[in-house]
Amino acid sequence: AQKITQTQPGMFVQEKEAVTLDCTYDTSDQSYGLFWYKQPSSGEMIFLIYQGSYDEQNATEGRYSLNFQKARKSANLVISASQLGDSAMYFCAMREGAEYGNKLVFGAGTILRVKS
Amino acid sequence: EPEVTQTPSHQVTQMGQEVILRCVPISNHLYFYWYRQILGQKVEFLVSFYNNEISEKSEIFDDQFSVERPDGSNFTLKIRSTKLEDSAMYFCASTPMGYGYTFGSGTRLTVV
């Protein structure tokens, strides 16, 4: 089974509108971490936001927020007030288990295009 | 802001040649990783490294691959005899405690 599922291969959003990128995950661990990364066309991986499995509040970082629904095993990324520079590939990733050094497992990604 | 540095940014090599990809992780980080991304595809884990030894490796990381931290700052990935299918972007990453994984900007390897 896939550990991380991103069901939207591509999304369009109008500039200044909000957009939600979906991510569901599969783990039997109680302790895990969920991450979102942005990959612009230049190729680098830019960390956006982190949510720990024991965090009761949804994580927020500026225009990014993570809609964490633990029972549904979903960790959707919400980008508010989209900008043209938000056009990129977005990856959801998970670190399973309590060990600090465990690897990240990535989803297939969602390409986001912001229209002016 | 501290960053993970990877060199070279691009490398073209002949099939069968050895390549070494270099990374300088963030200095106080303890865990190091190599990932690869074949063009347009998902990011795949290759290997993790902690306390000067491999802590985990994937099926991709076969005998053709090796990693080293030769001098306490550099972290290298060696591919002994490159194949066409090794063409990909290779990312180095590091983390201090497992909640802030910083990635380098990648090395694009092209095997011809």
pLDDT digits over A65-100, tens only?
999 999 999 999 999 999 999 999 999 999 998 777
A15-74 tens-digit pLDDT: 999 999 999 999 999 999 999 999 999 999 999 999 999 999 999 999 999 999 999 999
B13-71 tens-digit pLDDT: 999 999 999 999 998 898 999 999 998 889 999 999 998 999 999 999 999 999 999 88
Counting every residue, how long is chain B? 112
Q: Which residues contact B74 (CB under 8 A, 6 or more apart)?
A: B22, B23, B24
- For residue A53, the tally of other CB atoms under 10 A from its CB is 19
Residue of B nearest to A50 (CA): B99
Query: Which residue of B55, B100, B102 is in closest CB contact with A101?
Result: B55
Contact between chains at A101 and B99 (C-beta distance less than 8 A): no
Q: Which residues contact B69 (CB under 8 A, 6 or more apart)?
A: B32, B49, B52, B75, B76
Please calculate the CA angle B34-B106-A27 and round it to the nearest 5 degrees.
45
Tokens 């499995």 belong to residue:
A53
Min Cα separation A101/chain B (Å): 5
